[in-house]
C-alpha cells in the first residue's frame, strides 16, 4: 500500500511498525453544534482506509476522538442556558447518527477528552519536567523554541510566522509562538483540579494524550482535515515527541482536502455550512457518501446539487445491475485486483469507480450464471471496501416509499402488466402515466418490471 505522507510530502510505501497490529488516529469533531458535510469527509475517507487496512492486515486499532471540552461548547451551553455536558451529549449523539447514515463504521475507540483529563495533566507534567513547558499565571505553555523541529509538518519557519504577527502575544509567554497546554478557569467556567490550579486543557493537548492512552507513543497513521495541519497537528507533534523523549509521534500523516461550497471552503467560521442532516433530507446517505468518495481524498471537492444528482444516477445504474442479479448467489471471490491496487495507491477511489463501471457493464452483459455470480461477487466485495452498494436493490429504488404505498404501486404495476399481456396498450400507458405523475418511473427490464422514484 502506498500513502501520501504530508510530513515528507511524497507518496511512500506504507510499512506498519508492527505488521500484526496497525494503529490509526483521526481527529474527530468538537461537539458544539451539528456537524456539516465537510466534517463528514474525513470520517468517510478514513472509514474507507480503515476498511482497507482491516482487509490487508490482521489487526487495526482505529481511534477517533470526541472533543467535549472546548470554549465553543461553553459558549453554546451558556447561550442555550444548559449544562455543558448536555450540549456535548446532544451533538455527540447527532454526530454518531449522521455518520451512521453515511455508512461510516464506528472506530474501535472513541475517546472523550472529559475521560482523559488525568492523562492530559500527566503529559503536561512530563513536558514541564523535560523543560519543554512552563507554568505562568495559572497557564501552562509549551515552549516552541525548545523543539527545533517545530514547523516540519507544515513546512513553516518559526521566524517567518512571527513576522506574520498574527500570533497572540500575551505577557506570560516566553516566546510569541508558545501555545497553551492548560488554562485557568473562572468559577463559572468548567474546570478540573490540577497542579496549576483549577483549569481546563488547551486545544491541542487532548489529541496527544488520547492517542498515547489508546495507541501508544508511536502511531502508524494520523489523519485529519488539511486545515488541521497547522497549528493543530504541528503542536501535537511537538507535545508528543517532547513528552516521549523524542519518540516519533505519527509515522504517516494523512490530510484530506476540504469541501467547497460556492467555490469557498465550507466552515462554521465562514458561515456557509450545509449540515449533514440537511443533506440527508435531500438524498439518501449513500448518495452523499458516493459524492464524498468521487474525488480523490486529497483534492478539494465542490459540493453542489449537480454532483448529488450525478451520484444518484450512477448508484441507480449500479443497483439496477444488482437488481438484475437478485436471484444469483454472489461468488465469494473478494474484490478484484484492479480495485485493490487502486485503493492501495493512496486510496484512489475515483479509479475504483471507473473499475466499478466496468463491472457493471460486465454484469449487464453476462451470459452465464457463473459469470453473473462472479461479477456480482466482485461488485459486492468492492462495495464492502467502499461502504457502498450493500442495500437491497428493490429498497433502493423504492426510496422513502412507505409499505402501503409500495403495495399499491405493485398492484398498479401488475395491472399494467396484465394490460400489456392483453395488448391493451392504451390502458397500460394510462397506468404508466398515472404513476409518472406521482414521480414513479417504470422500467420493463428483461427479467421483469421494475419501478423507481424519479
Cell 513536558 maps to which residue?
Answer: 127
156 binds RNA (CB under 7 A): yes
Least Å distance, CB 60 to RNA, is 20
Measured distance CA(205)–CA(64) in Å, rounded: 15
Q: Does 294 bind RNA (CB under 7 A)?
A: yes
Residues 190-209 that bind RNA (CB under 7 A): 203
Alpha-carbon span 100 to 230, nearest angstrom = 29
Q: Between 72 and 277, whose beta carbon lies closer to RNA? A: 72
Rank residues 326 and 361 by Cβ distance to RNA and give the closer one: 361
CA distances from 185 to 13, 139, 157, 188, 451 (A): 46, 10, 32, 8, 61
Q: Which stretch binds RNA (CB under 7 A): 82-90, 151-159, 236-244, 401-409?
A: 151-159
CA-nearest of 123, 93, 117, 96 to 107 is: 96
For residues 133 and 196, what is the distance between their CA atoms, to the nearest angstrom?
13
Q: Which stretch binds RNA (CB under 7 A): 75-83, 103-111, 313-321, 373-381?
A: 313-321
Residue from 21, 55, 72, 275 binding RNA (CB under 7 A): 72
Contact with RNA (CB under 7 A) among 7, 24, 41, 385: 41
By CB under 7 A, tell whether 313 contacts RNA: yes
**Which residue stretch of 118-126, 140-148, 240-248, 438-446 sits at the interface with RNA (rule: CB under 7 A)?**
438-446
Select from 333, 350, 394, 453 the one that contacts RNA (CB under 7 A): 350
Pairing of strands 10-13, 60-64: unpaired
Residues in the chain, overall count? 454
**Nearer to RNA among residue 282 and residue 418 (C-beta):** 418
415 binds RNA (CB under 7 A): no
Q: Does residue 331 contact residue 376 with C-beta atoms inside 8 Å?
A: yes
Report the alpha-carbon angle 131-135-141, nearest 5.
75
Which range, of 57-65, 130-138, 157-165, 391-399, touches RNA by CB under 7 A? 157-165
Contact flag: residue 364 with RNA (CB under 7 A): yes
Q: Scanning the structure block, which residue is given the C-alpha cell 504530508?
A: 6
Q: Which is nearer to RNA, 225 or 377 (CB)?
A: 225
Please name the residues in contact with 429: beta carbons below 8 A apart, sequence gap of 6 or more: none
> Which three cell numbers mark 305?
446539487
Closer residue to RNA in complex, CB, 245/291: 291
CB 413 within 8 A of CB 451: yes
320 binds RNA (CB under 7 A): yes
A 10 A CB-CB count for 245 gives 9
302 binds RNA (CB under 7 A): yes
- The reply on whether position 77 binds RNA by CB under 7 A is no
For the chain, helix (H) and strand (E) counts, in that order, are 16, 15
* 337 scored as a contact of RNA (CB under 7 A): no
How many residues bind to RNA according to rule CB under 7 A? 81
Amino acid at each position: 500500500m502506498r500513502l501520501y505522507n504530508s510530513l515528507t510530502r511524497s507518496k511512500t510505501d506504507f510499512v506498519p511498525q508492527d505488521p500484526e497490529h496497525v494503529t490509526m488516529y483521526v481527529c474527530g469533531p468538537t461537539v458544539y453544534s451539528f456537524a456539516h458535510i465537510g466534517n463528514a469527509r474525513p470520517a468517510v475517507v478514513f472509514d474507507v482506509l480503515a476498511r482497507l487496512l482491516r482487509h490487508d492486515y490482521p489487526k487495526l486499532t482505529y481511534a477517533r476522538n470526541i472533543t467535549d471540552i472546548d470554549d465553543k461548547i461553553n459558549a453554546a451551553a451558556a447561550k442555550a442556558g444548559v449544562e455543558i455536558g448536555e450540549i456535548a451529549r446532544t451533538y455527540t449523539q447527532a454526530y454518531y447518527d449522521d455518520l451512521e447514515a453515511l455508512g461510516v463504521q464506528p472506530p474501535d475507540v472513541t475517546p472523550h477528552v472529559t475521560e482523559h483529563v488525568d492523562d492530559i495533566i500527566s503529559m503536561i507534567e512530563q513536558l514541564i519536567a523535560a523543560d519543554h513547558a512552563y507554568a505562568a499565571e495559572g497557564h501552562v505553555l509549551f515552549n516552541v523554541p525548545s523543539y527545533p523541529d517545530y514547523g516540519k509538518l507544515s513546512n513553516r519557519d518559526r521566524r517567518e510566522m512571527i513576522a506574520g504577527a498574527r500570533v497572540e502575544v500575551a505577557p506570560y509567554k516566553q516566546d510569541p509562538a508558545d501555545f497553551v497546554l492548560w488554562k485557568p478557569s473562572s468559577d463559572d467556567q468548567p474546570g478540573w483540579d490540577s497542579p496549576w490550579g483549577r483549569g481546563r486543557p488547551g486545544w491541542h493537548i487532548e489529541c496527544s494524550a488520547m492517542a498515547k492512552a489508546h495507541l501508544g507513543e508511536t502511531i502508524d497513521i494520523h489523519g485529519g482535515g488539511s486545515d488541521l495541519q497547522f497549528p493543530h497537528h504541528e503542536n501535537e507533534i511537538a507535545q508528543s515527541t517532547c513528552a516521549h523523549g523524542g519518540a516519533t509521534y505519527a509515522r504517516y500523516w494523512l490530510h484530506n482536502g476540504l469541501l467547497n461550497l460556492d467555490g469557498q471552503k465550507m466552515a462554521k467560521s465562514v458561515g456557509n455550512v450545509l449540515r449533514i442532516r440537511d443533506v440527508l433530507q435531500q438524498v439518501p446517505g449513500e448518495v452523499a457518501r458516493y459524492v464524498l468518495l468521487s474525488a480523490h481524498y486529497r483534492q478539494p471537492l465542490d459540493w453542489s446539487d449537480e454532483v448529488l444528482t450525478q451520484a444518484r444516477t450512477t448508484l441507480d445504474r449500479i443497483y439496477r445491475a444488482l437488481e438484475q442479479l437478485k436471484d444469483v448467489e454472489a461468488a465469494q471471490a473478494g474484490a478484484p485486483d484492479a480495485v485493490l491496487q487502486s485503493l492501495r495507491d493512496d486510496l484512489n477511489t475515483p479509479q475504483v469507480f471507473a473499475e466499478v463501471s466496468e463491472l457493471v457493464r460486465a454484469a449487464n452483459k453476462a451470459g452465464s450464471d457463473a459469470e453473473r455470480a462472479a461479477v456480482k461477487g466482485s461488485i459486492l466485495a468492492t462495495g464492502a471496501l467502499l461502504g457502498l452498494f450493500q442495500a437491497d436493490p428493490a429498497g433502493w429504488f423504492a426510496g422513502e416509499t412507505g409499505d402501503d404505498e409500495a403495495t399499491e404501486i405493485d398492484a398498479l404495476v401488475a395491472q399494467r402488466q396484465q394490460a400489456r399481456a392483453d395488448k391493451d396498450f392504451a390502458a397500460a400507458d394510462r397506468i404508466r402515466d398515472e404513476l409518472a405523475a406521482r414521480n414513479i418511473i417504470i422500467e420493463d427490464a428483461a427479467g421483469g418490471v421494475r419501478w423507481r422514484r424519479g
